[in-house]
Amino acid sequence: MEKSNYINGYSKLTNEAKVDSMAHFLGKTVDDFSILNHFKLPDSNLQARLEEISENVLSNYMLPYSIAPNFLVNGKHYLVPMVIEESSVVAAASAAAKFWFSRGGFTSKVVGTTKVGQVHFKWLGNGSVLNQHFPKIKDILINDSEYLLANMKKRNGGITGIELLDFTHQLPNYYQIRVSFETADAMGANIINSVLEEMAQSLKQYFADNFEGAEADCEIVMAILSNHTPESLVECYVECDIEGLAEVSGSLLPADYALKFKTAVDIANIDIYRATTHNKGIYNGIDAVALATGNDFRAVEACGHSYASRDGHYKSLTTVDIDNGKFRYTLRIPMALGTVGGLTTMHPLAKLSLEILGNPSARELMEITAAAGLANTFSAVRALTTSGIQKGHMRFHLNNSLNTLGATEQQKLQATKFFKDKKVSHKAVQDFLGK
């Protein structure tokens, strides 16, 4: 690329100058990007707060903010905020919540909330010698980072364990210190990383003070939290008599439908192609709630997918049990969520979402979010094993096509009636409007 095309100091430009620079770079005019102004908030203070969340902000990107009602989780009734662009997800969650509301709702239980961080380092010395020193190293690392954990300890959190791992048989001279944390209601990413970096410096100093020659040098490779949190785990299930499935079993007898549903989930436990799509259906619900509450949905997903591969084979995060006339559908999934700090307080809608949920603790939010994931996958498997997935999508697909093609309200009403019993495609909608 020619030097003249290089954009220097873009982050330091004003919002208007950023747009002007982009227009110049693309050979367009500023007016070509006027739509960016339509999505800015009229409240300049609120807009400024949003722009502080990220860098090089030009505008806001809008996604639908929805409510899925009638979620009964552990006997408590919730309205669940969801932020997602995919058609039918909120409808699917709502339908499942409605169905299970009169059948005991969702039962959720947090199994654990442990988070993990790592100090990765290389050292030329003998591993057995390092093991002898580790009890003393451990005490120093805890003492030196104590001041950073004051607020976490006030919420009954803190460091719950430290271990030394020797990976020299896989990577020459490589060791790791793995630290476990309880972060209470915070997701805790920033404080965990601060503690780990402090520990890294203390570790480096310990080697310098207690060893000689090459062994006095410890190379810190990196100090960072891990998004693999298999011990921050929540389990959620729904259960009813098999006869209670009659409402959703379509043309099948409830007992036959229960077996068909189980087979569909069993397939996701043996076939990675099906498992990936099945688990994506779970994250339709989980991601939507994580986004609405200002949590890191990417970290939640990464952890869930690694957990789904824990046995060396990627498989479903849900299971079905049929026993003594009972149908039980269970989701067991790791996730690290927070209700204090970060976007949960900075973003007004994230704060509102938590208020709508009754200002839950992190553990309660995990239970609610897992219920949303289970609700969405229940609706997805239900549709797949009865009418097919497309029937539920078609109403939204029709609306999207009509809006894209600029249909009037009268044309929308006519199209809805016309396509009630017909296949929907963009071309078919275009032809209908052309008539």
Q: Indicate which residue of 197, 198, 287, 296 is catalytic.
A: 296
Q: Indicate which residue of 98, 133, 280, 351 is catalytic.
A: 280
Query: Is 393 among the residues known to form the active site?
Result: yes
Cα separation of 91 and 396, whole Å?
A: 10
Confirm if 105 and 406 have CB atoms less than 8 A apart.
Answer: no
Cα separation of 254 and 249, whole Å?
A: 6
Q: Indicate which residue of 120, 138, 393, 397 is catalytic.
A: 393
Give one DSSP letter per residue of 127-169, joined into a string: HHHHHHHHHHHHHHHHHHHGGGGHHHHHTT-EEEEEEEEE-TT
Cα separation of 1 and 61, whole Å?
A: 30
Sign of the torsion formed by the C-alpha atoms of 50, 51, 53 and 57: positive
Helix ranges (H only) for 271-361 are: 272-292, 297-308, 343-346, 348-356
Q: Indicate which residue of 16, 32, 43, 86 is catalytic.
A: 86
Task: Give the number of C-alpha atoms closer than 13 A to the C-alpha of residue 261, restricted to the C-beta side.
Answer: 31
Cα separation of 246 and 346, whole Å?
A: 46
Query: Would you name the residues annotated as active-site residues?
Result: 86, 280, 296, 393
